[in-house]
Amino acid sequence: MALGAALLSVQLSRSVVVDPLDRIGQVSGLAALDLRFVVLGLVVVLAAVAASRHPAVWAVVSRLACAAVAGLATGLVAGGVLLALRGTDWPLFANWGDSGQLIRWADDILAGRGVPADYPPAVLHVIARWAELTGDSTASALRTVQVVATALFGPLAYLSWRLVLAPVWALAATLVAAMPMLEPYKPYTTVVLVALVPLLIAFLRVLRRAEALTWTRVALVGVATGAGLGVLFCLYSGWFLWSAPGALVAVLVVFPWRAAPLRGLALLGLAAAGLVAVAWPHLLGLLGAAGTVQDRYFYFDTAVEPAYIAMWRNDLPGDVGPWPPPGELAGVGVFTVLLVVGLGLAVAVAGRRTAVLALCALMAGAWLMRFWIASQMYATLTVQLYPRTTAQILFCLLLLAVFAALYGGRRVQEVWHARFGSGDRVPARPVVTVGALCAALLLALSMGSATADRYLPRDDGSVGLLAHVAQHVRQPDGTCPDYSVADGCAPDPGALLGGGWQPYGEPITRGSR
């Protein structure tokens, strides 16, 4: 249902016809996308209300409704990307920056030439094979990948969190924690982060109770987890580096040292074997390149005080005023205070839970690596991608806020019933789930529309520049994009952007670390 809702939303957005270079057209187009979202959302709510009167079907419909909202959320953003690229065959940023390098590597694959083994290979082969299958250029194939991967971001996040959480809470984790991580320019990168964390938590839960597993179950879980990790590793391996210290600590804490050490070792061994079996070419490429690739890309975030993690904007912030934004409490903003409160509550009410323990470990490990690498910048003149830890730390803090609400609510319910009634937990009534769906739809509408608006074409140095370039550069067939014909188009992005820009403004080699 999540996949269907996302793809339906994208398909309906194709009927929105406006000039994406005109601000009035952009606003009108966004309103049309929002209207489609609201109509589909009302259908979901009405279906849930109708099913709430029939207990026999309520369980199924409520699950499908939560999945549909997750799909609609990122389907709206993908519709915005389609709107931003209407009339051009280019992907975001045309053949410049990371898009340009991905296009060239995909062309190399089609020509039978080799590509660097230290860069995650999955997306390169998807671009190349899609171009081969459809007969389109690799540039057009990358455009399709950007739109489809953006649409599927929500469903993949939701389905990943269903490994750990009930439907409503999986939807909460998707909207509150995953949506801020969405990057239509390279959606395949952060989708690995939002899928990796729940997969690790689910595996740690199994590891913790390994004594209750049969050897058959141990083999199945170990191999399946390893294969899943291998697929994610081949899609984007950077998050594995930042997660490694925390994951190691979490494994040592939950490992069944006394109850079932052999089963625990078998789980870990099979998971490692599964990862290597799936991802060994890329893994060998990374090991071979270890110590030889240096990231010297100093951009705005490398000049920001290193403890600021309250907003992840990648490396194209645009005109955002003072950065970091001024904080009300000794330089700290209210949002950061709320994150701190969520962290404290999660540890206080559920510090022994596997999910909370794992999130705290992953976050702490990322903090340590962030400060260690940043502290070496002056001596080594390298960045080594440390600003990307912002995304992981923020993601973990947002998730801890979700778990604080989940386990805090359970604790309040337990205390209430222990004092005033039965101590048994009472299942949530359908009306509670319907209310949560309504709130989730409003949040998804607001977040999806705001994210889509950021990627609409504008020449102000923000991420809107990515679509602006795609709309003003001559296409591979030599023609101008449909909506820039009147104004003319540049022969290449370099002529459009001027001498101050470099073709690899975000060096592609940084993405594999």
Across the chain, which has 513 residues, the per-10-residue mean pLDDT values are 93 95 96 98 96 90 96 97 96 92 96 91 96 95 97 97 96 96 94 97 97 95 97 95 96 96 97 96 87 79 88 67 77 90 96 96 96 93 90 96 95 79 63 94 97 92 89 90 82 70 40 33
CA dist 94 → 91, 103, 121, 430, 462 (Å): 5, 9, 21, 48, 16
Separation of alpha carbons 440 and 358, rounded Å: 26
Separation of alpha carbons 72 and 7, rounded Å: 9
Could you tell me which residues are beta bridge partners of residue 332?
329
Separation of alpha carbons 311 and 297, rounded Å: 20
Dihedrals phi, psi of 381, to nearest 5 degrees: 55, 35
The DSSP output letter for 462 is S
Separation of alpha carbons 209 and 129, rounded Å: 42
Half-sphere exposure of 98 (CA within 13 A, CB side): 24
CA dist 8 → 4, 33, 135, 293 (Å): 6, 12, 24, 42
Question: Nearest to residue 156, comparing CAs of 129, 179, 133, 128?
Answer: 179
Residue-level pLDDT at 402: 97
Separation of alpha carbons 201 and 247, rounded Å: 9
CB 163 within 8 A of CB 202: yes
Separation of alpha carbons 201 and 162, rounded Å: 11
Residue whose token pair is 């494994």:
251
CB 124 within 8 A of CB 109: yes
Residue-level pLDDT at 424: 55
Residue-level pLDDT at 398: 97
Separation of alpha carbons 95 and 497, rounded Å: 13
Report CA torsion sign: 188, 192, 194, 199. positive
CB 143 within 8 A of CB 90: yes
The DSSP output letter for 386 is G
Half-sphere exposure of 214 (CA within 13 A, CB side): 3
Which segments of 291-405 are extended strands (E)?
A: none
Q: Give the ranges where 53-180 is alpha helix by DSSP (H).
A: 55-84, 97-110, 122-134, 138-161, 167-173
Residue 57: partners with Cβ closer than 8 Å, 6 or more residues away: 51
CB 116 within 8 A of CB 61: no
Separation of alpha carbons 291 and 91, rounded Å: 32
**If you write DSSP's letter for every residue of 5-44 in order, what string do you get?**
HHHHHHHHHTT----TTSHHHHHHHHHHHHHHHHHHHHHH
Would you give the end-to-end CA distance of the chain in angstroms? Answer: 34
pTM of the model: 0.92
Question: Nearest to residue 250, comparing CAs of 192, 197, 298, 212?
Answer: 197
Neighbours of 253 (CB within 10 A): 14
The DSSP output letter for 176 is I
**Quick one: residue 90, left, alpha or beta (phi over 0 = left, psi -120 to 50 = alpha)?**
beta
Report CA torsion sign: 240, 241, 245, 248. positive
CB 272 within 8 A of CB 225: no
